[in-house]
Amino acid sequence: MKHILNLYENINSTARNNSDCPAVILPEEIFFTVSIVGVLENLMVLLAVAKNKSLQSPMYFFICSLAISDMLGSLYKILENVLIMFRNMGYLEPRGSFESTADDVVDSLFILSLLGSICSLSVIAADRYITIFHALQYHRIVTRHRALIVLTVLWAGCTGSGITIVTFSHHVPTVIAFTALFPLMLAFILCLYVHMFLLARSHARRTSSPPRANMRGAVTLTVLLGVFIFCWAPFVLHVLLMTFCPADPYCACYMSLFQVNGVLIMCNAIIDPFIYAFRSPELRVAFKKMVICNWYQ
Amino acid sequence: MSAQRLISNRTSQQSASNSDYTWEYEYYEIGPVSFEGLKAHKYSIVIGFWVGLAVFVIFMFFVLTLLTKTGAPHQDNAESSEKRFRMNSFVSDFGKPLEPDKVFSSQGNEESRSFFHCYISEADPLEKAKACLQTTALDSEVHLQEAIRCSGRPEEELNRLMKFDIPNFVNTDQNSFGEDDLLISETPIVLENKPVVQTSHQELD
């Protein structure tokens, strides 16, 4: 992944100037702003849950897991920009051992945040599914203890996978496994949510609810899944094209937009709290209380 | 010999050229890409990808919308009047974000406070039924009525009822009724439910 993730640093090389698709370079201020906003927002979500005993339930643990993974993604961007700035200012050697180790660590952080984000979204969907379809047993199936165990196992798995992927990033099977994870998780989440939606629809049918209400469910589902797809798919396609057709002119033109894809992933970290965490009125109330208390102190 | 000289020429040329070239072989070697003889537009993958993504999402939205419109309506005429009494938009709005663990943990608690007393209680006074009708507006109303009426089989009805309870999911924001939110519930019955939920939360704190 290193060669993929650090590609945009080679933008200024003369090899790039030979192509007709100039790389789209976004100013670093945009990356910094987006990352810092993402970190702050997700930190607020974590603080709101940590400070309120009433919010410490499995559902909010899963939302916190998503917030942590989004925060890690934004932190990765900040760290990488800082490293690049140091390198441009000459404090770091271009190919020093410290620098390549730092690159590895930072890249594995990114892969970890990506995997963590995908796994958290799946776990949130599964939690909601159990809530609906096994509502009576939910309290027995999804306990706080089990939720923490599931999250620990997931994050340990993601960390191990992240380190493995970064270590073996030059091998094709690694890339295929990595990119296959995205459509698999998407299909899983899609199935769960569509099943829930069908249940809601059949119930709404029985109660003769206005079609506008059903429309809102459709809009919500589309937003949830659409944000996931729009933010992650460009990067996944970039990884695929990088591995299989790096010299092809069409692929090269797509890959010239790498920084735009990176910004989309950062935007996902900003949008996720709004469509998951802040949907809950309890968390919103807790959040407002926290902000107002800090404001008055 | 000549091969070695060739190699040394190459390396000297490389070092003499732009130092940015030295970045190349630590990272993936990407040579200059030739853009001649392209049949389609050079950004065709980009355009095709984004258009395909947008079409997929819009298609998904239309499928979901069509699902809401098609299908045979299945109404019980006897209960149609009570249905209209309730908040109809709840289920499609994916319900009130009531955590099921809180709700279930309150089962053993004050029955008067938790709206689940409607399901558990086997005594079936009419006042309780009416109170249940009001306070459980955010639930699957049809089955609630059945649960209240057929108090001899509370578990079964409870099962069916809970099956359609979709908590947590999106929204129904009781606090910001006027917000232009995606899934805000529209009917005023939501507000009546507020004190019940809040008291049940308070007792759990």
ipTM entry? 0.81
Contacts of A12 in chain B (CB under 8 A): 20
Higher pLDDT, B95 or A249: A249
B68 to A194: CB separation less than 8 angstroms, yes or no: no
Residue B3 burial (CB count, 10 A): 7
Q: Which residues of B128-142 are buried (b: 16+ CB within 10 A; e: fewer)?
A: bbebbbebbbbbbbb
Q: Which of A209, A218, A233 sits opposite B53 (nearest CB)?
A: A233
DSSP characters over B5-53:
HHHHHHHHHHHHS-GGGGGTTTS----PPP--S-SS-TTHHHHHHHHHH
Q: Please check whether residue B45 touches A, CB under 8 A.
A: yes
Q: How confident is the model at residue B30 (pLDDT cuts 50, 70, 90)?
A: low
Higher pLDDT, A245 or B12: A245
Indicate the pTM of the whole model: 0.67
Contacts of B19 in chain A (CB under 8 A): none
CA distances from A200 to A206, B5, B92, B160 (A): 10, 76, 6, 13
User: Which residues numbered 74-103 in B keep a CB inside 8 Å of some CB on A?
Assistant: 74-76, 80, 83-84, 86, 88-95, 97, 99-102
Taking CA–CA distances from A100, the nearest residue in chain B reads B26
Burial of B181 (0-12, 13-18, 19+ CB in 10 A): middle
Taking CA–CA distances from B168, the nearest residue in chain A reads A280
Q: Please check whether residue B198 touches A, CB under 8 A.
A: no
Taking CA–CA distances from A227, the nearest residue in chain B reads B57
For residue A6, the model assigns a pLDDT of 54
Q: Using alpha carbons, select from B154, B99, B92 the residue that is nearest to residue A218.
A: B92
DSSP A274: I
Whether residue B193 contacts residue B95, with contact meaning beta carbons closer than 8 Å, is answered with: no
DSSP characters over B133-151:
HHHTTTS-HHHHHHHHHTT
Q: Which of B40, B64, B68 sits opposite A211 (nearest CB)?
A: B68
Q: How far is A113 from chain B (nearest CA, A)?
A: 23
* Averaged confidence pLDDT in chain B: 50
Q: Which of A10, A196, A208 sits opposite B75 (nearest CB)?
A: A208
* A153: its two tokens: 């196992």
* B132: its two tokens: 């249940």
Q: Which of B27, B49, B73 sits opposite A6 (nearest CB)?
A: B27
HEC profile of A217-245 = HHHHHHHHHHHHHHHHHHHHHHHHHHHHC
Say yes or no to pLDDT of B10 above 60. no
DSSP A32: H
- Number of helical H runs and strand E runs in chain B: 9, 0
C-alpha A110/C-alpha A97 separation (Å) is 20
Mean pLDDT for back-to-back runs of 10 residues, chain A (297 residues): 50 49 84 92 91 88 93 90 84 76 86 90 91 88 91 94 86 86 89 86 74 75 88 90 84 87 90 89 87 81
**How open is the CA angle A13-A14-A19, to the nearest 5 degrees?**
110
A254 to B49: CB separation less than 8 angstroms, yes or no: yes
Say yes or no to pLDDT of B204 above 70. no
For residue B197, the model assigns a pLDDT of 40
C-alpha B34/C-alpha A19 separation (Å) is 7
Whether residue A208 contacts residue B80, with contact meaning beta carbons closer than 8 Å, is answered with: yes
Q: Which residues of A30-63 are buried (b: 16+ CB within 10 A; e: fewer)?
A: ebeebbeebbebbebbbebbeebebbebbbbbbb
Say yes or no to pLDDT of B85 above 50. no
B30 to A247: CB separation less than 8 angstroms, yes or no: yes
- Number of helical H runs and strand E runs in chain A: 12, 0
Q: How confident is the model at residue B31 (pLDDT cuts 50, 70, 90)?
A: low
* B140: its two tokens: 């699957």
A221 to B69: CB separation less than 8 angstroms, yes or no: no
* A196: its two tokens: 């829930």
B57 to A222: CB separation less than 8 angstroms, yes or no: yes
C-alpha A135/C-alpha B161 separation (Å) is 9
Residue A123 burial (CB count, 10 A): 20
Q: Using alpha carbons, select from B156, B165, B111, B108 the residue that is nearest to residue B138.
A: B165
For residue A213, the model assigns a pLDDT of 66
> Which of A267-271, A286-290, B124-128, B138-142 has the least mean pLDDT?
B138-142
Q: Please check whether residue B38 touches A, CB under 8 A.
A: yes
Whether residue A95 contacts residue A136, with contact meaning beta carbons closer than 8 Å, is answered with: no
Taking CA–CA distances from B119, the nearest residue in chain A reads A136
| A158-167 contact pairs (CB < 8 A, 24+) | A158/A112, A158/A115, A158/A116, A158/A119, A159/A112, A161/A111, A161/A115, A162/A108, A162/A109, A162/A111, A162/A112, A162/A115, A163/A108, A165/A1, A165/A108, A165/A111, A166/A1, A166/A2, A166/A104, A166/A107, A166/A108, A166/A111
C-alpha B49/C-alpha B46 separation (Å) is 5
Taking CA–CA distances from A276, the nearest residue in chain B reads B170
Q: Using alpha carbons, select from A96, A99, A95, A101 the residue that is nearest to residue A83.
A: A99
Contacts of A254 in chain B (CB under 8 A): 43, 45-46, 49
Say yes or no to pLDDT of B73 above 50. no
Q: Using alpha carbons, select from A119, A63, A56, A44 the residue that is nearest to residue A277.
A: A63
Longest dimension (CA), chain A: 69
* B170: its two tokens: 């999106």
Alpha-carbon Rg for chain B in angstroms = 32
How many contacts, defined by CB atoms under 8 Å, are there between A and B? 248
Taking CA–CA distances from B106, the nearest residue in chain A reads A139
For residue B89, the model assigns a pLDDT of 41
Torsion sign across C-alpha atoms A188, A189, A192, A193: negative
